[in-house]
Amino acid sequence: MDAARSNFTPKVSQERIGISYSFKFPGSGLFECSLTGLVFTVTREGEVTYKTLIWDDRLLEPVQKMAGGPLFGIKCPQDSISQLHLPHCEPQPALVSGSLSVIDITDDGLNFIQPLQITETHVVVNVPHLSAFGIVWDVVKRFKDFKTIPINCQTLPFLIRKRCPRNSLSFVLLPSNVPLQDVKAQHADWEFILAPSFCRFHMNEIYSFHSDPGGFTLQPKKAEFYEEYGPNYSVTFEILLPPSVERITVTIKDPKNACVWEHDIQLPAPPSAAEPGTSSTQ
């Protein structure tokens, strides 16, 4: 497990629904995807394609499981992948290790794979074949034994320029193992603002939203955090701002009024107007 990893950036392809990733392994080794966090243990040269799929709660509910990460559909015609390292979002993996497993979904149904190892960042499993894989939680343990443990999350700011006098500075709150590329692809007409995103939220806890300076429309002022893994990545909080605003500090607080995420956001300038003598079209 201590072998050196080769980091790679996959080819990204837009599909009718969502996006897919692909990469050609030059040979054996340990390869980590920079966009999804997936790590592949590879035995020989081969090509992998993968994408996030939609979890079907009708499959999980009868076995008392809930999603603990994205569901990845993975293909490799050369069968050169022997292990997968699936990114998790648990800050205390040693404590929760007995409650996490990996589900393998095929045309024949569900299979549960016990992890070989749970590291600080990944759940490692052997994969005798490739299909759809995702981390799952035991529902009873999640809500009984580990309800008080927060998960690693990300706060993602987007600027939505509107034709009305006010723009929308919107925030999508998600577990840390949701690929940013998938979120950006779903909101391709929104302008992503690069900012430190790391934070920790408790599932089903209510958080409040604040801005400095004040006086702007915040909606909602409070919202509950859900551990969502698609298919939709919806806005949790939004501020309506006039185009003249260039900088604003945004804070998210927990029920005890403690700050869990704060950032001084420099808003990007609007697109340049057309040069004199040229015309522009909408």
The chain-wide mean pLDDT, for the chain, equals: 91
Burial class (CB in 10 A: 0-12, 13-18, 19+), 163: exposed
Q: How many domains does the chain have?
A: 2
Q: Which residue has the tokens 């392809």?
A: 13
3-state DSSP assignment of residue 113: strand
What is the Cα–Cα distance from 137 to 124, expressed in whole angstroms?
15
> Does 163 map to a domain?
yes
> Does 276 map to a domain?
no
Are 19 and 60 spatial neighbours (Cβ–Cβ below 8 Å)? Answer: no
Burial class (CB in 10 A: 0-12, 13-18, 19+), 86: buried
> Does 277 map to a domain?
no
Question: Cα angle at 197 between 208 and 190, to 5 degrees?
Answer: 85
What is the Cα–Cα distance from 243 to 256, expressed in whole angstroms?
33
> Does 107 map to a domain?
yes
Do 62 and 99 lie in a common domain? Answer: yes
> Does 257 map to a domain?
yes
- Domain boundary pick from 117, 144, 171: 144
Do 173 and 135 lie in a common domain? Answer: no
pLDDT at res. 153:
98
In this structure, which amino acid lies at residue 169?
Answer: L
Do 25 and 41 lie in a common domain? Answer: yes
Do 48 and 175 lie in a common domain? Answer: no
Does the pLDDT value for residue 173 go beyond 90? yes
- Domain boundary pick from 118, 144, 170: 144
pLDDT at res. 279:
38
Do 138 and 219 lie in a common domain? Answer: no
Do 101 and 131 lie in a common domain? Answer: yes
- Strands 191-192 and 100-106, how do they pair? unpaired
What is the Cα–Cα distance from 148 to 202, expressed in whole angstroms?
7
Torsion 184-55-20-197 (CA) sign: positive
Residue 139 CB neighbours (<10 A) = 15
**Mean pLDDT, range 213-221, rounded to an integer:** 94
> Does 76 map to a domain?
yes
Does the pLDDT value for residue 156 go beyond 60? yes
Does the pLDDT value for residue 273 go beyond 60? no
Does the pLDDT value for residue 275 go beyond 80? no
> Does 271 map to a domain?
no
**Mean pLDDT, range 160-183, rounded to an integer:** 91
Beta bridge pairs of residue 66: 137
- Strands 5-8 and 29-33, how do they pair? parallel
**Domain with 187 in it:** 151-266
pLDDT digits (tens, 9 = 90+) for 26-62: 999 999 999 999 999 999 999 999 999 999 989 999 9
Do 176 and 112 lie in a common domain? Answer: no
Cis amide leading into 213 (omega within 30): yes
Do 17 and 95 lie in a common domain? Answer: yes
Does the pLDDT value for residue 225 go beyond 60? yes
Do 12 and 130 lie in a common domain? Answer: yes
> Does 254 map to a domain?
yes
What is the Cα–Cα distance from 207 to 176, expressed in whole angstroms?
17
Do 35 and 107 lie in a common domain? Answer: yes
